[in-house]
Amino acid sequence: MLTNEIREAFSAFGRKGEISSVEQLTAGLINATYIVTTDAGEKYILQKINTFVFKNPDGLMHNIVGVTKHLSEKIEKAGGNPARETLKFIPCEDGKYWHKDAEGGAWRMYVYVDRAHTYNKAESADTLRSAGKSFGRFMKLLADYPADTLYETIVNFHNTPSRYRDFLEAVEKDTAGRRAEVEKEIAFVTAREADTHRLTDLLAKGELPLRVTHNDTKLNNVLFDDELDESICVIDLDTIMPGLSLYDFGDSIRSGANSAKEDETDLEKIYVDLDLFAGYTDGYLSETAESLNDKEIENLAFGAKLMTFECGMRFLTDYLNGDVYFRTAYEGHNLVRARNQFRLIETMEENMDKMEAIVMDCKAKYTK
Ligand code: GN1
Ligand code: MG
């Protein structure tokens, strides 16, 4: 699918050789992502940034380039291999890390990490344990990153009360004329209004610390080595911003401990898989138990529920708005995703005690 648009964007990065093939990756719901192979056998990821979502590509790339350089130095010092353990972005010939095409589209490019794969759905608790370690280590490596130099790439990204207001506005406006069809789902959300501000209240009271977090820790945002099947590299760095550890932990559970895919339609197949939950929690706390405070530990399981709630509410909001934000493959896709997340929440509510007990066991295992 080599288009003129792709050829033109690729050439802005001044790499040698001609494009020999292009493959589109469609697992991400926001940007347009292509694997580009050259006749010299080099492989890159070329991405068209979704500027409806990311309005300031300069700020976005400033964050990503700064963070990946920092990670790269730390990985090198620790005796690791930065070429496989973090992303390497390529500047354009003018030194900038993104290219504006003739239509105003924004493109960036990085080196493709070879011999690696992702999971859209976890196969075992080991997969999640490994992902948990990577995301835990990621937060640790960024603990000394100057948070005040980071742009807020999406304002109020995980501010759940603000997401809730956006949801109410979408219900009120009913732009796509779909409200009548989703009264049940709307009631599911409004019944849980009190949850929306629990973490932001603790943050305001100073009981939860702001950290440099990833904020989009979906299972398919970590690469696994083909040979070892171990997670090696955290990707999709667009939302690195100051945030709560609970957002990162929570979103990983939302996506990784779901017994089914995010858009499974058969609600009976959807539940929080406690083995997968335990695997992730074990991996994550093996890296972070010493640095998280008691309030964070206490709220990990709730964070999983809250991130599932927020995401489900965002899918429903987008459905009400006429599918303007998330990439959809068919009419009603966002509603399917919302119902899926709401079913997952019900099973988390039923299992909250068990999830909390697993967290405490893992904490005991990794603290003296
Ligand atoms: C988006 O870009 P991707 O597909 O990794 C979204 C996340 C959602 C997720 C749901 C910037 O992540 O917040 O949790 O879809 N990213 C953005 O699958 O909105
Ligand atoms: Mg992604």
Tens-place pLDDT, residues 217-253: 999 999 999 999 999 999 999 999 999 999 999 999 9
Is residue 108 predicted with pLDDT exceeding 90? yes
Among the candidates 88, 114, 140, a domain finishes at: 114
Q: What is the β-pairing status of strands 32-38 and 43-49? A: antiparallel
What is the 214 CA–ligand 2 centroid distance (Å)? 11
- As a whole number, mean pLDDT of residues 9-15 equals 95
One domain, residues 45 and 135: no
One domain, residues 136 and 107: no
Q: Which of 25, 29, 118 to mutate to test the pocket of ligand 1 (most atoms within 8 A of CB)?
A: 29
Contacts 24+ apart (CB under 8 A), 351-358: 351/272, 351/274, 352/301, 352/302, 352/305, 354/274, 355/272, 355/274, 355/277, 355/301, 355/304, 356/301, 358/274, 358/277, 358/278, 358/281, 358/301
* pLDDT of res. 165: 98
Pocket flag, ligand 1, residue 32 (CB < 6 Å):
no
One domain, residues 107 and 130: no
* pLDDT of res. 1: 81
- Nearest C-alpha neighbor of 159 from the set 212, 216, 199: 199
What is the 179 CA–ligand 2 centroid distance (Å)? 29
CB-neighbour burial class of residue 358 (10 A; exposed 0-12, middle 13-18, buried 19+): buried
Residues in contact with 144: Cβ distance below 8 Å, sequence separation at least 6, in sequence order? none
214-220-222 Cα angle (round to 5)? 55
Is residue 368 predicted with pLDDT exceeding 90? no
Pocket flag, ligand 1, residue 318 (CB < 6 Å):
no
One domain, residues 93 and 181: no
One domain, residues 153 and 110: no
* pLDDT of res. 80: 96
- With a pLDDT cut of 70, the percent of the chain lying above it is 100
Among the candidates 60, 86, 114, a domain finishes at: 114
CATH code of 150's domain: 3.90.1200.10
- Rounded to 10 degrees, what is the CA torsion of 319, 321, 326, 329? 50
Q: Which of 216, 234, 238, 253 to mutate to test the pocket of ligand 1 (most atoms within 8 A of CB)?
A: 216
- As a whole number, mean pLDDT of residues 343-356 equals 98
- As a whole number, mean pLDDT of residues 131-143 equals 97
Domain around 9: 4-114
211: β partners: 243
One domain, residues 225 and 255: yes
Pocket flag, ligand 1, residue 236 (CB < 6 Å):
yes
What is the sign, positive or negative, of the torsion defined by CA atoms of 87, 92, 98, 103?
negative
- As a whole number, mean pLDDT of residues 101-107 equals 96
Dump pLDDT digits (tens) for 299-346. Answer: 999 999 999 999 999 999 999 999 999 999 999 999 999 999 999 999
- As a whole number, mean pLDDT of residues 267-294 equals 98
One domain, residues 72 and 151: no
In a domain? residue 341: yes
What is the 218 CA–ligand 1 centroid distance (Å)? 8
Pocket flag, ligand 1, residue 243 (CB < 6 Å):
no
What is the 80 CA–ligand 1 centroid distance (Å)? 29
What is the sign, positive or negative, of the torsion defined by CA atoms of 201, 207, 210, 216?
negative
- As a whole number, mean pLDDT of residues 281-291 equals 97
- As a whole number, mean pLDDT of residues 101-126 equals 96
CB 25 within 8 A of CB 112: no
Higher pLDDT, 123 or 110: 110
CATH code of 106's domain: 3.30.200.20
* pLDDT of res. 2: 86
Which of the 8 DSSP states describes residue 249? H
CB 139 within 8 A of CB 213: yes
- With a pLDDT cut of 90, the percent of the chain lying above it is 98
Q: Which residue has the least CA distance to atom 1 on ligand 1?
A: 29
Among the candidates 66, 85, 114, a domain finishes at: 114
Query: Quick check: helix, strand or coil at residue 330?
Result: coil
In a domain? residue 120: no
Ligand 1, residue 154: give the atom nearest the CA: 11
208 pLDDT tier (thresholds 50, 70, 90): very high
**How many other C-beta atoms can be found within 10 angstroms of the C-beta atom of residue 323?**
18
In a domain? residue 69: yes
One domain, residues 97 and 129: no
Pocket flag, ligand 1, residue 248 (CB < 6 Å):
no
One domain, residues 110 and 151: no
CB 132 within 8 A of CB 214: no
What is the 39 CA–ligand 1 centroid distance (Å)? 33
Compute the distance between CA of residue 49 and CA of residue 205 in angstroms, rounded to an integer. Answer: 36
Domain count, the chain: 2
* pLDDT of res. 306: 98
Q: Average pLDDT over the chain, rounded to whole?
A: 97
What is the 363 CA–ligand 2 centroid distance (Å)? 29
